Structure 1
Amino acid sequence: MAGSDNLAAVAQHSHQFERGTDGPKVILAGVDGSESSFRAAAYASGLARRQHALLALVYVQPVATAGAAFGAPVAQVTDEVAEDLIAEIRKSTERSRGVFDVRWEFHTFRGDPYNGLVTAADELKADAVVVGASEQAGHRIVGSVAVRLVKAGRWPVTVVP
């Protein structure tokens, strides 16, 4: 009977990631314009292509309340970053059209990167999350978004260097 208890525990734990399909349906990649985020998007694109999954590219627009308090056009700047990202993604998609066709969507969320990606993954029902490794030195001490996503343990997370 101990074997069947272990099997039930494994089935219950693995059910956490299973959405009743063969393979992932949605692979989420966080993009912020950094080189590592573009590498993560490229890696996620390959995964999505091979798995016939939807690639959800997500940019989390930071909410800089301090800048807004001083009259800085924070929303306008982050909107411009989002527009630049979508233009770059469309350009890359056009270059690879016919060779690597991938279904993809671009989404923006507002907030801090970790909570924005968590919200995006929940709302989009992501089966996997792909992010780039942090390029900021301070994250070695505080902890990067990637590390926090892995520790959350809610989705398989791939961190691309």
Structure 2
Amino acid sequence: MSSPNDPGQTGVIAGRVVGLLTALLVVGSLLSAPDESVSWVETVVHGVSVNLPGSATLYFYAYIVLAAIGQYVFSYVTGSLVGVLYSWLERKPIVIVTVAILFIGFINGFALRFDAQTTPIGIAYILSWCCFIPVFYYYIETTESQWGKTRRLDQRFKD
């Protein structure tokens, strides 16, 4: 069960928003140049020296799904950890969360900029991480009446 002003849960919620945005960026960036990406996957599949069933296109789409899931999970977990950091630092001002998120966003954007081989994609990752800050502060400041009795679905149906 979660409650209002719980930084860990609030970090999870904000991390989910960022995870959705960055997962969409992963899918969009990979689908924007499918020929290059499929040839890259073919090189990897043939480099493994194992006779794998299926085509490189199938592996490419599997790679897209796994990359999107991985980016979502990364954002989800990182958001939770930022919330815990916020709690551990005894709820310091917005500057601490902003610096932490910008640092994470720059690392994520820098790393995935090389994967996509385009700077605008890297900038888009950084901007998607900037969405964490308003979402986090919106939910961290909610009151009990705004939050509701509970956030768990199984508890909602018991009432």
Q: What is the TM-score when the length of structure 2 is the normalising length?
A: 0.29
Q: What is the TM-score when the length of structure 1 is the normalising length?
A: 0.29
Compare the two structures and name the one with the higher strand fraction.
1
Compare the two structures and name the one with the higher helix fraction.
2
Larger radius of gyration: 2
